[in-house]
Amino acid sequence: AGQNASYVLTQLHHWHDAKRVDASGLMPPMAAILTDQDMQDLATYYAQQTPVGLEADPSYWQAGQKLYNGGDRVRQLPACSACHGPVGRGNPVNGYPALRAQHSVYTAKQLTNYAAGTRYTTDARGKSSGGASYAIMHTIAGRLSAEDIRDLASYIQGLR
């Protein structure tokens, strides 16, 4: 809910074309039967919804807020807000998704997948199906500790 339509559309195409990996196996078969118009309609629908979700975990959100808004120069981690915005609304023009109100379990899983290089498929030459944003996130997530991921996921969950 509340994700920008261009990002939803791109992800639906990635699942449809088997470019995005889904360990649960749920999304690829559902997306495979969608027409281009179906995908456009779904993207528009979800973009118009208001995100609701859980609050941030009080034990972790402050550390997550610091990293989200300020990054970490020593580890060459840019602030998440630089691409995803100060309140997590994303940047549709550049294809960066909204993060606000994402469930922490989902966010942690995706950051872990980026760090492990398993978020998208790669071809025989090692080129990712996720494009340039995958390379950026792969690098950034690879520099995050498990605690960083937990803290960021908690903070993002509470963003509205």
Q: Which residue has the tokens 């630089």?
A: 82
Residues 68 and 61: their CA atoms lie apart, in Å, by: 10
> Which of 143 and 23 is assigned the larger pLDDT?
143
- 58-62, 83-87, 91-95, 129-133: which range is least confident on average? 129-133
pLDDT score at 123:
54
Claim: this prediction has a pTM higher than 0.75: yes
- Report the C-alpha gap between 19 and 94 in whole angstroms: 20
**Count of helices and strands (H, E) across the chain:** 8, 0
Q: Are 149 and 111 in contact (CB under 8 A)?
A: yes
Tell me: pLDDT of 127 over 80. Answer: no
Q: Given this model, what pLDDT does residue 131 score?
A: 64
pLDDT of residue 94: 87
| pLDDT, tens digit (0-9, with 9 covering 90-100), for 22-71 | 777 889 899 999 999 999 999 999 999 998 878 888 899 999 999 999 99
